[in-house]
A and B are shown apart, each in its own frame.
Chain A
Amino acid sequence: MNELRATVAIVRHHIDRKFALDFAMQFVLLGILGYVFAPTFGNVLPVVVCGALAATNAAERAHAATLRGVSWFAMPLFGRQLARAHAIAPVLGALAIPLGYATGAALRGAPFPSQALTGAILASSVAVLVSLSSVFRDGLRAALYVGIAIGAVVTIAFGELAPHGLALAATLALVEGFFALRAFGETLARYDPIPAV
């Protein structure tokens, strides 16, 4: 078994036309948001907004239906290997949100500082990693993971305000992202794909 080949195949499987369309739409919508609100939002609120949007986007139900398919679980991979492979495309897709906002803000003449943009990228990535675990849960438990993702985003956004803020935000993102990915791997390892009744 060549794990890298399998991972690349799964990432390519996720990066299809729908992915590109979603990326473009998010980029444009956040560009508009950035253009309209950049002068009033400041530097912390956009990080929270970007992270929250990334979290809810990663948890969307259509995405859940795809990832719960039985064929993923027939593949000879451990849960953690499958988790890594499943996480790459959504994290890449979530980049559209902070990049779109930053582009809109720049077009408005109120550029998003590079430190805030880095924070927004980190927050969006962590939000996706936490929120992916909600894909394999329903109802309140799924919503709880989205809530945890937004909580993680808030810690990163306010971490940026501290002295050496970027380093603190990056450390928080690394720790939270690591545990989120581990939790997602555990979720996949425990999940039983039951057929529809």
Chain B
Amino acid sequence: MTRNRINIEPLYLVFSFLGGLVLLFLVAPLAGMVLNSSGQELVQAGTDSEVQRSIWLTLWTSMAGTMLLAIAAVPFAYLLARKEFPLKTLVLAVVNLPIVIPHSAAGIALLGFISRDSLVGGAGEKAGIHFVGGAGGIMVAMAFVSLPFLITSARDGFAMVPERLEKAAMTLGASPARVFVTVSLPLAWRAVLSGLILMWARGLSEFGAVAVVAYHPIVTPVLIYERFGAFGLKYARPVAVIFLAICLIFFVAFRWVAAGVGAPAWLSRQRAEAGDIHAAR
């Protein structure tokens, strides 16, 4: 026995074992699904034009919905991080509402909101946007259930930016708009980007709300469900595997890009300073 042998605390051994179980629980079903699909099945599903159409539709609607909503949600997140206003707690609760309500119920609520005879739906109809049974409706449903992820992440990011930097910028003559664009947003950018990725990932995996609002044109999660219902597990599985692979590729790529944006060195220092400031107050 050597002197520098690490003493292993039995408790952490137990925790590690439990952690292993959790990981297995997460990975095993996915791995099983992948391993159970033959190459032939995958090729067949991959060349199926309905599958291709649905994957393309899912990807672009989720991205477009995220981008459109971000225009309003990111400034809103800044407001939530920086300003105090009456009923702020209530507003924060409302923002997180989509996380706790069943997504089929969210779909039902949205359907009433965007149907042809509603104010919004009618206006959209006149402008040539068909929400119900159209890409517009899919976007609305995806965005509704995934928006909290963007707002929460962006808000945390803005809260992390030392207020003194914004104040300093203003004393240097910068307008609040310029301060937001040149100081707050760049410094919170990683958190905002991470929020965008989360919102997009959550949106593209949405089934419940989308199925209610726009069953057709069919997005991949709905297609997987439909194939399972009509033809069984064997037919649904290859589609699921292909969709999973594509999502993973995009997700990893975006994460990788996000990690490269901004230098971690100043980020950690800035966080330490933010901590100091809070402590000083």
State yes or no: do A and B come from one complex: no
B residues with CB within 8 A of A: none
